[in-house]
Structure 1
Amino acid sequence: MGDTTENWNFADVIEGIADRYGDRTLLVHGDVHRTWAEADRRADGIARTLLDAGAVEQDKVAQYLYNCDAYMESQMGIFKAGLVPVNTNYRYVEDELAYLWDNADAVAVIFHGCFADRCDAVRPRVPNVRTWIWVDDGTGPCPDWAIPYEQAASAATERVVPPWGRSGDHILMLYTGGTTGMPKGVMWRQTDLISILGGNTNPVFAGPTDVAAAVDSLAEGLVVLPACPLMHGTGWFNALIGMLTGGTVVTMEGRTFDVVEMLDTIEREGVNGAAIVGDAFAKPMLAALDAQPDRWDISSLKMMSSSGVMWSEATKEGLLRHHAGMLLVDAFSSSEALGMGQSVSAAGAAAKTAKFSLGQNARVIDDDGHDVEPGSGTIGRVAVAGRVPVGYYKDPEKTAATFITIDGQRYSMPGDYATVEADGSLTLLGRGSVCINTGGEKVFPEEVEEALKTHPEVRDAVVVGVPDEKFGQAITAVVEPADGGQPAENELIAHVKGRLASYKAPRHVVYVPTIGRAANGKVDYKGLTTHARAELGR
């Protein structure tokens, strides 16, 4: 479980920073600018409210919120009380919310006012949820069954420490929908997550617990902008990284991605690090900067990061033309496995699409349990050792399948397939759960999707398998055309064949107005497969 001298937990670190650097700005959301000291005391109020309502050690608290200052502030309160924050996808409807909060054993929900009716509809189905905290967003009054957030935030005048104290073994829970199946809660020990996220910028966090030394070592602190939702790991962990530097977390007021708002925010707040969703965010950014190259000053940016979705070489090159002094970090990670690999692009050296260097604790394992030899062309699954999650909450079968022991060491192997090139780099193929078997050949959708999206008339694309009498499954491209055109089916098929083996090329193309990609870059493969089958009469 890690070094016995480790007991890193977010509450102790957050309070140490607040005590030392209380006048620094921690949270920025529109006109709201809140210092570390202010947020720390308000978080005590959230902790007090939850404890007074009967929450006990490691009870679960769901956060059903858009990005806002209350998101990380309330999470601080959850950590202070020794409870477990649980992310909630704000796109979920009643059945999904009922499943998630029941599965998580949630005892409290913190929700935006716009979700009040939905929460009210779900309340009879989640009787274990005893506390509802309403965050005012101007959409209506607080229901009589909920506590106003501002009332809760002002409920403490002194620091709140629960009877059971704090522990590095306390967890946070990241629910992930993955590509198939119901959401599942990935359990991360706080000490492991702090060592990974904090250790990226401060080696003190990678060693034995010494909060005073960690606080002493903090410099000015990063100003981070999780442009993607905090309800997903990429945005959430970006915010935690910023907090562990003693820095500032900036969130945007818009509830859908607005590239102008993002660029305005970067300039206005002097953002140093932004978390985005690959090309889904990067392409609009590049288009805006190309159209108005003198409008925004983005020189404060030191780094932009993305994880889990395609970020093309051409887009990286374009962004670096506008600001040669930043690094573009494409992380190959998932909710279950941090540090599987990454690619770093700088001016004059943009990384190839879907090419990654293998992480320090990662390896690629073939079907026989052996390491894939570089340059062999063998496909294997990526596994990462070291600091990995405890497992999936209340799901021992999935835990046993994903977290495996190799040569006496525990690995996380969430199902990402890759080949290892002769130079040791990784070529990522995608998740095996959506792999297409066509004529006995395995084809990974992401590889074909990346080839399709290099066509100038394709804005977005997803590749699915549909039933086929001859091949078992036929590769089918679901394409969202770029503005002003619709590339011909034979043109797209030829385009892919010019980049991949012929058997990987689509046999059919279906056009849609939008792929419907979620804010974290994920797509509904099941829904798009159903649509493609209907269009093709399969």
Structure 2
Amino acid sequence: MADVPSSSGDLGRANYATIWDAVARAVPDRVAVRTDAEALTYAQFEETAARLAATFVEHGLGVDSTVAVFMYNRVEYLTTLYAAYKIGAIPVNINFRYQGAELAELLEMSRPAALVYPASLAPAVVDAAARRPLPGLVLVVPDDAPADAPPAPGTPFAAALDAPPLPPQERGPEHRIFMFTGGTTGRPKAVVWTHGNLFDSQLFSIYGALPVDPPTSLDDVTRIAARDDLPRTVCLPLPPMMHATALFNVMNAMVLGGTVVFLSTARFDPRAALRAMAEHGVTRLVVAGNAIVAPLVDALEAGAGADVSRLTTVLSSGMVWSDDLKRRFLAHAPGATLIDIVGSSEGGPFAYGVVRGPDDLPSRPRLAPGALVLAPDHTPVEEVGETGVLAYRGAMPLGYHDDPVRTAETYPVIDGVRHVVPGDWVRVLGDGYVELLGRGSGVVNTGGEKVFPGEVEKVLLALPGVVDAVVLGLPDPRWGEVVTAVVVTAPGAALTAEQVQDEVGRHLAGYKKPRRLYVVGEIERSPSGKVDMRRLRRRVTELREAGR
């Protein structure tokens, strides 16, 4: 590996490519990425990314070029990110569940100069290519594509690694990272981070659990990563890296000189995940609330026999993670700290729910440093029992790509200070604790009263036999909207509307009781655990029209 000048300035100059290059020089023989089939040292990983970066440059990519990554979690995903960062290019995260029309829409929005995808997703790429031209550089990663899959357009990924490695170049903090997020409704939109602001926002997540002083320079970062006396981070991301929580925690693990573990397939297999955790000594597990924890707990309780005792941290963000599942998980990993992060792609973190043992349950999120609760007029809400929206002052994204109106709405300047206010409502509990109520766009207005779905869902998920639940408002000529519950129950469990209303009524005001109940076999969620509310509304409307 070629040397670059050592940086010892302020960490406001942080750039992930420069940091990872420095870590690779410091611990070249340490394993950076591991799968069932291979293990790459930091030196090997850096060289592979440098070869791909050279190919990008040969094809005219450079600073601010966009690189579309249409892929599930695997080594090539992380290699592509690293290569893009090395040349100041902008990776574009694309949901690997997208069909051709959805892929074409995102390609049209992001205008990538390169596309990297696995052969198994060729049908979507072929369909997208019929709708709009593909980028000039298309790289295909071999995987377990079905025999009847169409020929995959593009050049084999391995051929892009034949170029001589691009020498490391020190990059600054101004280079950008896109995080496309569709939320639960609406057209995808890109939140734009700079490397410097993202790294600054992650400092607590990276170093908060370590017995070290926070770094103030790149040399400090490298020295911490190279220390053999610190506990080694072995990170397994189970949600896809198109989800910010998984991506950022993987990036953080590499800052620490840790090892990132990937499963071998796109499909989530809880038993395979448990085997990987035991075999590779995973210390940091990234999940997506109940959607991932429930299958893991079920497998553990069914006698999977996996040793998960080396887990020290389990992180989740943006999804419901019920207290019951936290308690059941801790029974198998008593040494783990469960961290439920209240955050968003738009910024944060806003609050943390930290559980170190059963005595910390029920879990309550507490405001993070820099977070506060605001009234609609942007004045602070501090009175116990009052409601408001979460806000954050600190390192945050530049805003939404090419959307100044929405950027101004979500990132208001209040008393001369820029805030991020995505619209998540909470109730103030005192001493910094809050109760999550839900995103403002999902509030149900029934008879003039506002009902926050998350508040009702929490009660439903505590019911015996309920494994998933979503609350929404449906149009009603009398009430404007009526509270409606869509529930998934365990096999053999029976649930009636009366039971649901009685249980909700025991905990919440009467107007919050669901007037309609639909028990379904499954609530379809994205790989990150989010629900497509438009699709769910259509499904419930069909059920109602069918007289169910």
The alignment's TM-score, normalised by the length of structure 2, stands at: 0.92
1:213 to 200, 217, 220: 220
Measure, in 2, the Cα distance between the counterparts of 1:73 and 1:206: 28
Shift of 1:160: 5.0
Letter of the 1:216 partner, please give it. R
1:256 to 261, 267, 272: 267
Letter of the 1:389 partner, please give it. P
1:91 to 97, 100, 114: 97
Q: Residue 206 of structure 2 aligns to a residue in which SS?
A: coil
Shift of 1:298: 1.0
CA contact (8 A) 1:461 1:478 kept: yes
Where in structure 2 are the equivalents of 1:380-419 lying within 5 Å?
380-419=388-427
CA contact (8 A) 2:69 2:91 kept: yes
What residue is the counterpart of 2:379 in the other structure?
Answer: 370
Shift of 1:197: 2.2
Per mean C-alpha deviation after superposition, the further-off stretch among 510-519 and 263-272 is: 510-519
What residue is the counterpart of 1:179 in the other structure?
Answer: 184
Shift of 1:125: 4.0
Letter of the 2:374 partner, please give it. I
Shift of 1:454: 0.9
Where in structure 2 are the equivalents of 1:487-506 lying within 5 Å?
487-506=495-514
Where in structure 2 are the equivalents of 1:188-227 lying within 5 Å?
188-202=193-207, 208=216, 210-218=217-225, 219-220=227-228, 221-227=232-238
Per mean C-alpha deviation after superposition, the further-off stretch among 16-25 and 112-121 is: 112-121
| 2:381 pairs with 1:348 | no
What residue is the counterpart of 1:439 in the other structure?
Answer: 447
Gaps of 5+ in 2: 1-8
The alignment's TM-score, normalised by the length of structure 1, stands at: 0.94
What residue is the counterpart of 2:107 in the other structure?
Answer: 101
1:228 to 225, 233, 239: 239
What residue is the counterpart of 2:335 in the other structure?
Answer: 325
What per-residue deviation string (whole Å, max 9, x for no partner) do you get for residues 441-468 of structure 1? 1111111112111111211111111111
| 2:61 pairs with 1:55 | yes
What per-residue deviation string (whole Å, max 9, x for no partner) do you get for residues 85-129 of structure 1? 110001111221111122112111110111223213323544472
Shift of 1:53: 0.7
CA contact (8 A) 1:341 1:358 kept: yes
Letter of the 2:255 partner, please give it. L
Measure, in 1, the Cα distance between the counterparts of 2:168 and 2:321: 43
Shift in CA distance, 343/358, structure 1 to aligned 2, threshold 3 Å: same
| 2:378 pairs with 1:337 | no
What residue is the counterpart of 2:44 in the other structure?
Answer: 38
Shift of 1:494: 1.2
CA contact (8 A) 1:226 1:250 kept: yes
Shift of 1:278: 0.9
CA RMSD of aligned residues (A): 2.1
1:430 to 431, 434, 438: 438
Shift of 1:343: 0.9
Gaps of 5+ in 1: none
Per mean C-alpha deviation after superposition, the further-off stretch among 133-142 and 314-323 is: 133-142
CA contact (8 A) 2:12 2:200 kept: no
Q: Residue 200 of structure 1 aligns to a residue in which SS?
A: helix
Letter of the 1:426 partner, please give it. V
What residue is the counterpart of 2:6 in the other structure?
Answer: none
CA contact (8 A) 2:139 2:156 kept: yes
Shift of 1:29: 1.8
CA contact (8 A) 1:198 1:244 kept: no
Shift in CA distance, 230/205, structure 1 to aligned 2, threshold 3 Å: farther
CA contact (8 A) 2:178 2:190 kept: yes
What residue is the counterpart of 1:24 in the other structure?
Answer: 30
What residue is the counterpart of 2:3 in the other structure?
Answer: none
Measure, in 2, the Cα distance between the counterparts of 1:321 and 1:497: 31
Q: How many correspondences in the alignment?
A: 529
Measure, in 2, the Cα distance between the counterparts of 1:59 and 1:91: 24
Shift of 1:285: 2.1
1:289 to 294, 300, 303: 300
Q: Residue 306 of structure 1 aligns to a residue in which SS?
A: strand
1:473 to 481, 485, 490: 481
CA contact (8 A) 2:289 2:319 kept: yes
Q: Residue 12 of structure 1 aligns to a residue in which SS?
A: helix
Where in structure 2 are the equivalents of 1:456-535 lying within 5 Å?
456-535=464-543
Measure, in 2, the Cα distance between the counterparts of 1:387 and 1:449: 32
CA contact (8 A) 1:392 1:399 kept: yes
Measure, in 2, the Cα distance between the counterparts of 1:282 and 1:5: 36
| 2:13 pairs with 1:7 | yes
Measure, in 1, the Cα distance between the counterparts of 2:463 and 2:152: 54
